Amino acid sequence: MLKSGQAWFSPQVIGEIVDREGTPILFLSKEVMRQKYETLSGELGEAKIYYALKANPHLEVVKLFHELGAGFEISSLGELNLLLDLSIPPDKIISSNPVKSEAFIEAAYSYGVGLFAFDSYTEVEKLACLSPGVRLCLRLAVSNEGSEWPLASKFGIDIERGVELLVQAKRKELKPYGITFHVGSQCTNPKTWIEAIQKSKLLWELAEREGIKLHLLNIGGGFPIQYTKPVPQISEIAQVINRTVRGIFTEDGEAEIIAEPGRALVGEAGVLVATVLAKAVRQGQRWLYLDIGVFNGLMESIGGIKYPLEVAKEGQASSYILAGPACDSFDVISTGVELPELEIGDKVYIMSAGAYTTAYASQFNGLPIPHTYLI
Ligand SMILES: Cc1ncc(COP(=O)(O)O)c(C=O)c1O
């Protein structure tokens, strides 16, 4: 068992698979994903959970969450096709991407997907033409304070312009149905949810004054997982959300609530196993090169995500620059990484690696995307 005490994952359990399949390889624990789903859906009480497929679209992951009763949040035709292959029913699918291709809208609408997000007039026009009468959620711009992977600037609209857009959507005979927001991924500040929910209520009331009755609040994703820094417990964030939502949205049963977590359902269920490929000392700095890097799985490390690392060896730790295998200087995973002396061929276990790793990976430089192995 590793220091992190993950009983499901021990070099004994996975050793044979690693010898057979090679590295890099991603192990995902079904049991941990099940626990994460049950904890989050239990803590969030009345919110329906739609798993954000982008975090890890592995078929077995989708099957597991489907069995557990989750719905799915998708963004593209590719993600829709994946769900169609598994016969996931349309009432279990929503799309909260405010920027959708026409082909995706057409296919999703004809399958019966009935809830799309929008935050621009061009999207209203597209949706009115390709999915007449469909229910819409307006993506509200909210603060991403405390998020380690912010999503704020690319999406969302302010309250005033949001009301106008809802009115325009209604004029086009679409059904303005709710509000959606995202506090940014890996958001460690519970207050950010409070402000976002309060802001949604303002928009909700202004819309009502324009004769638009909304029914649904989608509180998005953003729930944090344990990397190297301490984060609030899900129960703490959920309590804050529940209190705020109940105080202003659901006390009279007015609103349906949904959440669309990605990272929090799969991140801590994953361990990537990598192998040391090379070592070097340059300008007095020690470099350690792994067979996984920012291109073939650890893309989020360029945005500052720092994965906990474990190794089987013990001994005096030194500071390393940890880099990937690509013949490209951008492929640096992290600096100031403390590790004991390792040799070529030693394994490095990259913890909390179930989300946004294989999903983001490319085959740049002919490097392999890690296989995923469910345990
Ligand atoms: C619209 C939407 N919903 C949900 C998520 C999932 O967020 P997280 O993985 O932070 O829970 C994302 C992530 O980018 C998103 O864009």
8 Å CB contact between 135 and 115? yes
Which of 155, 185, 193 is the pocket-test mutation for ligand 1 (most atoms within 8 Å of CB)?
185
The Cβ of residue 51 has, within 10 Å, a number of other Cβ atoms equal to 30
Half-sphere exposure of 70 (CA within 13 A, CB side): 30
pTM of structure? 0.96
CA 53 to CA 92: how far, in whole Å?
Answer: 12
pLDDT in tens, 101-158: 999 999 999 999 999 999 999 999 999 999 999 999 999 999 999 999 888 889 999 9
Sequence-distant contacts of 65-68: CB under 8 A, at least 24 apart: 65/33, 65/37, 65/265, 66/92, 68/34, 68/37, 68/38
* Region(s) of the chain under CATH 3.20.20.10: 57-261
* Region(s) of the chain under CATH 2.40.37.10: 11-26+267-374
Q: Using the predicted structure, report yes or no on whether residue 1 has a pLDDT greater than 60.
A: no
Residues lining ligand 1, Cβ inside 6 A = 52, 55, 73, 96, 151, 182, 185, 220-223, 260-264
Instruction: Give Cβ neighbours of residue 348 (< 8 Å, ≥ 6 apart).
Output: 273, 274, 275, 276, 290, 309, 310, 311, 339, 342
Q: What percent of the chain has pLDDT over 70?
A: 97
Task: Give the pLDDT band (50/70/90) at residue 4.
Answer: low
Residue type, 88: I
Measured in Å, residue 225 CA sits from the centre of ligand 1 at 13
Q: Which CATH number fits domain 57-261: 3.60.40.10, 3.40.30.10, 1.10.287.130, 3.20.20.10?
A: 3.20.20.10
Measured in Å, residue 12 CA sits from the centre of ligand 1 at 34
Mean pLDDT of the 279-306 span:
97
258 to each of 92, 236, 242, how far by Cα in Å?
12, 18, 12
* Topology of the domain covering 11-26+267-374: Lyase, Ornithine Decarboxylase; Chain A, domain 1 (2.40.37)
Residue type, 90: P
Q: Using the predicted structure, report yes or no on whether residue 254 has a pLDDT greater than 90.
A: no
